[in-house]
Amino acid sequence: MHHNFKTENMDAINKKRTLGNSDLEVSSIGLGCMGMSFSYGPPPEKKEMIALIRSAVEKGVTLFDTAEVYGPFTNEELVGEALAPFRDRVAIATKFGFSLDPNGGPQWIGLNSRPEHIRQVCEASLKRLRTDAIDLFYQHRVDPDIPIEDVAGTVKELIKEGKVKHFGLSEAGVQNIRRAHTVQPVTALQSEYSLWWREPEEEIMPVLEELGIGLVPFSPLGRGFLTGKINETTTFATNDFRNTLPRLSPENRKSNQVVVNLLKQFATRKNATPAQIALAWLLAQKPWIVPIPGTTNLNRLEENLGTVNIELTTDELQEIRAAASQITIQGSRYPEQSGKLINR
């Protein structure tokens, strides 16, 4: 099959990265599994997604990201089934921190990081993931009602019990990161970071560097926008949550195309794709960054993994940064009512 972009070469993928000061060493690009069950329109066939996850393992991916709330539950079950034959070769990350609808509805009904709830989620996730230990257990969102020390302390106990190996936070602010880290070292922060959302650079990344915490960027391709495959005329499926994101409204997609044009310009120069330039830029920012682009498509997986063969020079990185800093991205990241989920 002939591609006009760089595809993965196994040596390159096997360039591992370590998350912060921990001993958690993973492939330099992980796989976000959320979209295989949830969020981006009708989910694909389960058996196809199992095959895709197993292809990723064969291609050297060793970090797989899921959460109980994806589905809910179905994504963890999928990941557990797909990875069972390779369990000793991979790291599975999952998350706690929401109360789910007791009637089995698809919607979470609030934040919940009470210690007993964290323990219940851990037990249930272990079963769904078909494993006796979760490699990386993230608090999905900071719960303002529970002191972060209690959250970190509960995960510390789960680590002592051998049920969890590493503690992570997601979208947490500087104070919460510092407070949690004093109780149980934080291995990784998972937050949105990409060429069109660079907010973590301001306050978060210096603290991660200081404390020795890795960064796992989600949506490193701007929920698909930075691939160049989406423009103002694209229509998303009715149940695709991108319909709700102001940054991806048709008029904002039109003005935000300028970022994609920048990526396209470098892609042409480097014989790569816009997505590959976006991921290569991220990897070049820090050695402890491990992005987790999601996909349901084998060609896209190969394209994403091919990024590790692209070297951006210092001059090119400066040129991209300078051009990007001239661009004002239109539209907020999330609709107003879900702003409360982002606890700074």
CATH code of residue 204: 3.20.20.100
Helix (H, G, I), strand (E, B) or coil at 32: strand
Can you give the pLDDT at residue 269?
97
| Ranges 34-38, 92-96, 158-162: which has the least confidence | 34-38
Residue 63 lies in a domain: yes
pLDDT category of residue 108 using cuts at 50, 70 and 90: confident
Domains of the chain: total:
1
Left, alpha or beta for 104 (phi > 0: left; psi -120 to 50: alpha)?
left
Residue 162 lies in a domain: yes
**Are the C-beta atoms of residues 327 and 259 closer than 8 Å to each other?**
yes
Is 70 catalytic? The answer is yes
Residue 323 lies in a domain: yes
Which range marks the domain in which residue 56 is found? Answer: 10-341
4 vs 319: which has the higher pLDDT: 319
- Active-site residue (options: 70, 138, 193, 334): 70
Instruction: Give the model confidence (pLDDT) of 323-332 as tens digits.
Output: 999 989 999 9
Residue 4 lies in a domain: no
Can you give the pLDDT at residue 41?
81
Looking at residues 256-265, what average pLDDT do you find?
Answer: 95
pLDDT category of residue 109 using cuts at 50, 70 and 90: confident
Could you tell me what percent of the chain has a pLDDT over 90? 86
Taking CA atoms, 59 is separated from 14, 16, 191, in Å, by 9, 13, 25
Looking at residues 68-97, what average pLDDT do you find?
Answer: 97
Residue 2 lies in a domain: no
Alpha-carbon span 185 to 303, nearest angstrom: 34
Residue 3 lies in a domain: no
Residue 222 lies in a domain: yes
pLDDT category of residue 340 using cuts at 50, 70 and 90: very low
Looking at residues 177-196, what average pLDDT do you find?
Answer: 97
Instruction: Give the model confidence (pLDDT) of 278-288 as tens digits.
Output: 999 999 999 99
Q: Would you say the C-alpha torsion 16, 92, 95, 221 has a positive or negative sign?
A: positive
Can you give the pLDDT at residue 38?
86
Report residue 218 as tokens: 């989600």
Helix axes 46-58, 298-305, angle to 10 degrees: 20
Q: Which of 344, 339, 333 lies closest to 172 in space, CA to CA?
A: 344
Alpha-carbon span 220 to 84, nearest angstrom: 27
Instruction: Give the model confidence (pLDDT) of 8-32 as tens digits.
Output: 665 555 689 999 999 999 999 999 9
Within 10 Å of residue 75's Cβ, how many Cβ atoms? 26
Alpha-carbon span 42 to 45, nearest angstrom: 10
- β-sheet with 91-96: strand ranges across: 31-32, 63-65, 91-96, 134-139, 164-170, 186-192, 214-218
Residue 1 lies in a domain: no
| Ranges 70-74, 88-92, 155-159, 272-276: which has the least confidence | 70-74
